[in-house]
Amino acid sequence: MIFFALTIPLLSGCFSPDLLESGKEQKIREGDAFFASGEVDKAIALWKESLEDEKRAEVYEKLIMVSFVKSDLGEAQGFAEEGLSFFPDNHNLLFNLALVKYHSKEYQGALEEFDRLLSLNKYYQNAHFMKGLIYESMGEDELAKKEFINEVNNFPGSRNAWLKIREEVKNDK
């Protein structure tokens, strides 16, 4: 009888939300460890499995990053879009989707995503810089220069934006 009195509280503690939460976190941490050791496919599997338990924006960000590392822009875009279906105003997911579209040479779509991001957070670092790169790729040098200046106005330490402005000034001469 004493055995049951001691066992029931112990067993009920095994199913507490705190322990279940730590199991979810453990999958993510294990995925991180696999990624750090170069076992990318195992990391992806654990991160995907963790999404079955709970949708988390940071896990989608990890999957997008890994897809970039694997040079699979289609997969990266899929993860970004899926993540945004659950977290529509997540700034990092919006930035990543715009970045994927830029690298896929979908310049108009990338501009739209950056504009959407900047409507939510006009100070998101590198958003104006990336818009400048897009305009530059489209041959719109004046618009590019304007975006590089916007980036420097928001982040005076943006070395890349300063370099682009100097480059634009040299080209104007």
pTM exceeding the 0.85 threshold for the entire prediction: no
Low-confidence ranges of the chain (pLDDT < 70): 1-22, 173
pLDDT per residue over 80-104, tens digit each?
A: 999 999 999 999 999 999 999 999 9
- Helix, strand or coil, per DSSP, at residue 32: helix
For the chain, the domains span: 25-106, 125-173
- Tell me the C-alpha distance between 68 and 71, whole Å: 5
| CATH among 3.30.1280.10, 1.25.40.10, 1.10.3720.10, 3.40.640.10 for 25-106 | 1.25.40.10
Q: Give the separation between CA 110 and CA 118, rounded to whole angstroms.
A: 12
Q: Which residues contact 135 (CB under 8 A, 6 or more apart)?
A: 141, 143, 144, 147
